[in-house]
Amino acid sequence: MAIIAKTEIIGLDSIIMTFEDQKGMYVVSYGDYVREYETVDEAFESYIRQVNKAYDDYR
């Protein structure tokens, strides 16, 4: 597993985008949200949506 991006907001779960070598998939996670994507573009869009959601949760 290689971490591609990680965002930490104090008091919330981290938002993480990784590449799973064994599966050949990109994985985005935030709390209970865990999704797999075949392309980095799809994964990055999901990652940004989760960062925005985390920011809303923080406010």
Q: Is the pLDDT of residue 39 over 90?
A: yes
Number of domains the chain contains: 1
Find the domain containing 20 and state its range.
Answer: 2-58
Q: Where are the beta strands (DSSP E) in 1-59?
A: 2-7, 15-20, 25-30, 33-37
What share of the chain in percent tops pLDDT 90?
Answer: 86
Measured CA to CA, the distance from residue 15 to residue 11 in angstroms comes to 12
Contact by Cβ (8 Å): 8, 22 = no
Token couple for 57: 């949760």
Which one is predicted more confidently, 47 or 58? 47
Token couple for 39: 């392309």
Specify the pTM. 0.89
What separation, in Å, do the N-terminal and C-terminal C-alpha atoms of the chain show? 31
